[in-house]
Structure 1
């Protein structure tokens, strides 16, 4: 992206998520215990890596290059830790912890990359993630080590006490009696079991304490999302008005002008050349029908009647049929268990319609796949349009009004929009629309 100001600025991302307060949904079980043991084993190695990177970065300040390399690797290591820890917390404890906002640079290229690193390092989220990682690793290593020590004592203590007590060679050695050792072994075994069973509760508390976003982030995200939706709605309305003006000017208006001129010529021929006048009237009739068809196409772009009357399934089937008529075979995969709001269905329709129009006009594709599915757990409608064409589609630039308009329309509906179109070929347009608007 290109900066819109001369001073470094940042923007809130569009992919923030908010979730209800985390609740401990799996308090006991094999999975939390296994996670704690794995965390202790991997922690004995990982514990030293970020710390070593930080020490290398600081100690290499005079060399500059060492500081830069160490700092970059350190930032990426903490980023990866943040991602892995949230996945672990969700998989082990069932937490849907909200992802805190991450400030994104508005610069591009190397400047944007360097500025993004600085934004990450200077954020509270970055250091909170690091603190969480080390606190959890230290706790897991200590608790699992203690449980392991108790288990070793429970298994070997009574045997050692009995061996020493019954050995003639052990004269002069003092150790607890076998009876006491057995009693302590039972206590140690119970303690180790309790640690392994109930120890993950503290892991869950650490996750709740340090992984969630700060209280202000949810409100900031909501404000940012509303601002983006407002900007998307304004931009989408402007793009739609421009499209209507362009279509009327380039298609309907010339037809009507030609119609008026043909009728005028026919009027002059009525008295002098009746056969020619009839020919001109027939031509005017053809122009009138063509103008009516083009006007219907313009109106269809505003509010397709079939969408309101028969729903998204029928509307998308009609779009696919028109695309196949244009020479591009399309596979349509739909999973629509219910009707959605007018805004969601309209937005989904235009995403598919505009994408297929672009494929028919520019992609030189031999096949396209349209997938529209409702994802019930998140109450989202997920749309994907793939083609095997030449690629190179972009959402920015002078000749990308269609895709830019789609992005604005989706953002106005509080959704996310993305285009993947490498120059080597194939294009995938994806959109995710929240259904609870």
Structure 2
């Protein structure tokens, strides 16, 4: 599992996850390959459920294509013909709405039979109230027109797929099983076997053991090839469903940015509430108490100078404590050392406050954009706090390096493990922050340890290090 992940080709210190893309980033991570089979894929393909589901998809495609094509052509022709009376506009809108409904059914069919999970496209953006607002939204939606195009293209392709897949499938299994039913011809047909050729002078029947064996062998070859032919045909269906019935890359990006914007707003609001609470319960309360103590000292100054001096001395200690709390609060908002000296010095400062020894290694020749730099800092800071509070570790490491256009941040400890980013934990909130800037947070924490948390952040707006 370890993948010598150094500066360029894997996670450092040989504790990689085994699912990188070869350049040191986490993009494209996923589960490993399928478990090995003793029977080669080419031999078991005709008997797998996937092959039969794909064949069923092709068979259902023809009747569904006929219905879709008939509906689309009829309704579009009706709508275009009625445009002179203005009735054609709502008719076209209803046509497109119906195509969107068929598109939802086709996505469900592809999900059930092809295992293709295509997200629903963006919903209609209706501006205003009333029927005409809905009509305008339907007609302006690119998704509506893409589903109409799908209805027109799916029919001729379904005819072609049906006419290719069905003969191959039936011919292959028929010939393969010929030895099992060849007895039907001499018993009920009055001939030696399946007629291969015939004219006025002579006829050829598959009626001896050698011919029957060759027939079964040919059927076996066709049967073994048919699932791959059908799979190649359904690849075109996958492309059409994904490209015409799913969200476009731009719309998916807009939805993702809207979600990320919500995360950023919620995070900023939570940070403001935390700062307000820390000020109210910490420095503000201490300063109020300090003001009262100084007032009492002022009153006692003439009567009891020693008591007043003692109260002033205690107030001086309170001032130092309040200043330290304000420094900690300011460091929590944005540390000055990060702005002035960069990640290396800032993370070294964070490491000194951890409850266990921490080794910090920052390998950067440039500084990332301030926003990315700040997220990297607070990610490490929160992870080291988790190490101090929950990990029961004896050491930890922090590694920061750059891989092409990504900033990699990894924190490792030898604690008890069991950390989970799900379930609304602090790691879940941290993952939301990282995701808000198109980053990835991966937690590898088996029970018993060690724990490795890796954040991959985009590299933006680099500045040269001083």
TM value normalised by structure 1: 0.51
Q: Is the 8 A contact 1:225 1:414 kept in 2?
A: no
Distance in 1 (CA, whole Å) between partners of 2:270 and 2:361 is 29
Counterpart in the other structure of 1:362: 390
Q: How does 1:400-411 map to 2 (within 5 A)?
A: 400=425, 402-411=426-435
Question: Alpha carbons of 1:124 and 1:395: their partners in 2 closer, same or farther (altered >3 Å)?
Answer: closer
Counterpart in the other structure of 1:240: 271
Counterpart in the other structure of 1:265: 296
Counterpart in the other structure of 1:48: 46
Q: Is the 8 A contact 1:391 1:422 kept in 2?
A: yes
Question: Alpha carbons of 1:395 and 1:241: their partners in 2 closer, same or farther (altered >3 Å)?
Answer: farther
Question: Alpha carbons of 1:391 and 1:52: their partners in 2 closer, same or farther (altered >3 Å)?
Answer: closer
Question: Alpha carbons of 1:393 and 1:52: their partners in 2 closer, same or farther (altered >3 Å)?
Answer: closer
Distance in 1 (CA, whole Å) between partners of 2:236 and 2:360 is 43
Q: Does the alignment pair 1:312 with 2:343?
A: yes
Q: Is the 8 A contact 2:343 2:362 kept in 1?
A: no
Counterpart in the other structure of 1:125: 116
**Deviation of 1:279 (Å):** 1.3
- Aligned match for 2:414, one of 380, 388, 393: 388
Counterpart in the other structure of 1:333: 361
Question: Alpha carbons of 1:256 and 1:211: their partners in 2 closer, same or farther (altered >3 Å)?
Answer: same
Q: Does the alignment pair 1:352 with 2:380?
A: yes
Question: Alpha carbons of 1:281 and 1:385: their partners in 2 closer, same or farther (altered >3 Å)?
Answer: same
Counterpart in the other structure of 1:7: none
Distance in 2 (CA, whole Å) between partners of 1:425 and 1:210 is 42
Distance in 2 (CA, whole Å) between partners of 1:250 and 1:358 is 23
Distance in 2 (CA, whole Å) between partners of 1:53 and 1:47 is 6
Q: How does 1:218-257 map to 2 (within 5 A)?
A: 218-257=249-288
Distance in 2 (CA, whole Å) between partners of 1:397 and 1:44 is 43
Distance in 1 (CA, whole Å) between partners of 2:109 and 2:53 is 18
Question: Alpha carbons of 1:220 and 1:319: their partners in 2 closer, same or farther (altered >3 Å)?
Answer: same
- Aligned match for 1:413, one of 416, 429, 437: 437
Q: Is the 8 A contact 1:421 1:428 kept in 2?
A: yes
Larger radius of gyration: 2
Q: How does 1:72-111 map to 2 (within 5 A)?
A: none
Counterpart in the other structure of 1:214: 243
**3-state secondary structure, aligned to 2:452:** strand
Question: Alpha carbons of 1:118 and 1:234: their partners in 2 closer, same or farther (altered >3 Å)?
Answer: farther
**Deviation of 1:316 (Å):** 1.2
**Deviation of 1:249 (Å):** 3.0
**Deviation of 1:52 (Å):** 7.0
- Aligned match for 1:278, one of 296, 309, 313: 309
Give 5+ residue unaligned stretches, structure 2. 1-20, 22-38, 57-107, 119-160, 162-233, 462-466
Q: How does 1:49-64 map to 2 (within 5 A)?
A: 50-51=48-49, 54=52
Counterpart in the other structure of 2:184: none
Q: Which has the higher contact order (CA 8 A, sep 6+)?
A: 1
Distance in 1 (CA, whole Å) between partners of 2:366 and 2:237 is 39
**Deviation of 1:395 (Å):** 4.3
**Deviation of 1:368 (Å):** 1.0
Q: Is the 8 A contact 2:110 2:117 kept in 1?
A: no
Distance in 1 (CA, whole Å) between partners of 2:114 and 2:252 is 16
Q: Is the 8 A contact 1:391 1:424 kept in 2?
A: yes
Aligned-pair RMSD on alpha carbons?
3.9
**3-state secondary structure, aligned to 1:271:** helix
Q: Is the 8 A contact 2:50 2:114 kept in 1?
A: no
Q: Is the 8 A contact 1:307 1:315 kept in 2?
A: yes
Distance in 1 (CA, whole Å) between partners of 2:53 and 2:334 is 62
**3-state secondary structure, aligned to 2:261:** helix
Counterpart in the other structure of 2:458: 434
Count, aligned residues: 258
Question: Alpha carbons of 1:306 and 1:280: their partners in 2 closer, same or farther (altered >3 Å)?
Answer: same
